[in-house]
Amino acid sequence: MATLSVPTLAGFASTVIFAASTLPMLIKAYRSHDLASYSLGNIVLGNLGNAVHSIYVYSMPPGPLWMLHTFYVVSTGLMLVWYLRYGLRRPTHTAAARMGGSPDAVSARALLASPHLR
Asked whether 53 and 69 are in contact (CB, 8 A), the reply is yes
- Residue 8's pLDDT band, with cuts at 50, 70 and 90, is confident
Pinpoint the alpha helices (H) of 33-104: 40-57, 64-82, 95-99
Q: Of 78, 86, 70, 69, whose CA–CA distance to 43 is shortest? A: 78
Report CA dihedral (77, 80, 82, 83) to the nearest 10 degrees. 170
Which residue ranges form the domains of the chain, and what is each CATH number? 8-92 (1.20.1280.290)
pLDDT of 37 reads 87
pTM of the model: 0.67
pLDDT of 98 reads 56
pLDDT of 96 reads 57
- Residue 88's pLDDT band, with cuts at 50, 70 and 90, is confident
Element (H, E) at 111: helix 108-112
Give 15-44 pLDDT, tens digit per residue.
899 999 999 999 999 999 988 888 999 999
- Residue 3's pLDDT band, with cuts at 50, 70 and 90, is confident
Q: Of 74, 67, 75, 76, whose CA–CA distance to 13 is shortest? A: 67
